[in-house]
Amino acid sequence: MNYNLFSLKIKGLVVCLTLLTVLAIGTSPVSAKTLTINSKGAEVTFVQQRLKDMGYNIKKVTGVFDNSTKRAVLAFQRDNKIKLSGMVDEKTMEAIKTLKKGAKQPEIKIEPPKGKPATPNSTPSVSKARVVPESNPFLPRGKVKSIIATAKRQIGVPYVSGGTTPKGFDCSGYVQYVFAQNGLSIPRTADVQYELGKKSTISAIEAGDLVFFHTDSSSYVTHCGIYLGKGQFIHASSSKGVRIDELSNDYWKKAFVAAKHIVK
């Protein structure tokens, strides 16, 4: 055999083995990476589509991890008690893969006003809240009874992270559903719902208004419900599903952040 031909065959074999090794490493599970700002590709597309299907604010599936994707990931992490990072790590990806899709909600028509970036509130009694833009009340007084009736019909529905249907709700998905059933479409997550209406005190709010709470160690509003009057509110509890509780309850009294007046 010609020596030069034999040498070329050996070199070709080495190159092929090297390429196979690189490909094997590149497709190995250990190569999984955290998705963050400017990440691109099929995994980002998958994350965006899943979050959009679950009702989070993904305007367009682009395959590029942008700021709106980060905000949606943060909202998802808050709703599912995952450490807030805005990045899709292994734990976040697993949750995104396993949670069931929620029903598609009507197009949002009631939006919080745009304003300056939020700054911490220095008032001790609401130190956990953000200073947020306020908007005019939008819930017609004539619809309050219907809102409450719709809310009470869901009592007993179990809590489901990311849930937006009577098969299972999370807190903000429940509030959004109740309003949608009455022809009013509001934002998906509790922290954005908190930007609706005018801030009020417990003594001044009325049935149909919204109440907000802080239930973890983050600096965000993380829970919400609908005020029923007489010191009671209805909400999707993470432990017992949709139920009615007293604002005077020690747990909710401590977690209370603010009420927002939305009834006009």
Would residue 261 show up in a list of annotated catalytic residues for this protein? no
pLDDT band at 219 (very low <50, low <70, confident <90, very high): low
Domain ranges of the chain: 1-31, 32-98, 124-261
Would residue 171 show up in a list of annotated catalytic residues for this protein? yes
Q: What is the pLDDT of residue 102?
A: 42
Would residue 16 show up in a list of annotated catalytic residues for this protein? no
Question: What ranges make up the beta strands (E) of 30-148?
Answer: none
The mean predicted confidence, pLDDT, of the chain is 79
The per-residue pLDDT for range 16-58, each reduced to its tens digit, is: 554 444 344 333 333 358 999 999 988 998 998 888 877 777 8
Name the catalytic one among 214, 223, 224, 261: 223
Top-ranked range on mean pLDDT: pick from 15-29, 64-78, 214-228, 235-249: 235-249
101 vs 92, residue with greater confidence: 92
pLDDT over 70 at 94, yes or no: yes
Contact status, residue 178 vs residue 157, Cβ threshold 8 Å? no
Name the catalytic one among 171, 214, 224, 261: 171
DSSP H helix total and E strand total for the chain: 8, 8
Rounded-to-integer distance, Cα 263 and Cα 32, Å: 49
Neighbours of 229 (CB within 10 A): 13
Rounded-to-integer distance, Cα 140 and Cα 100, Å: 33
Q: At the topology level of CATH, where does 124-261 sit? A: endopeptidase fold (from Nostoc punctiforme) (3.90.1720)
Mean pLDDT of 1-7: 52
The per-residue pLDDT for range 116-172, each reduced to its tens digit, is: 333 333 222 333 444 556 789 999 999 999 999 999 999 999 999 889 999 999 999
pLDDT over 50 at 204, yes or no: yes
Superfamily of domain covering 32-98: PGBD-like superfamily/PGBD (1.10.101.10)
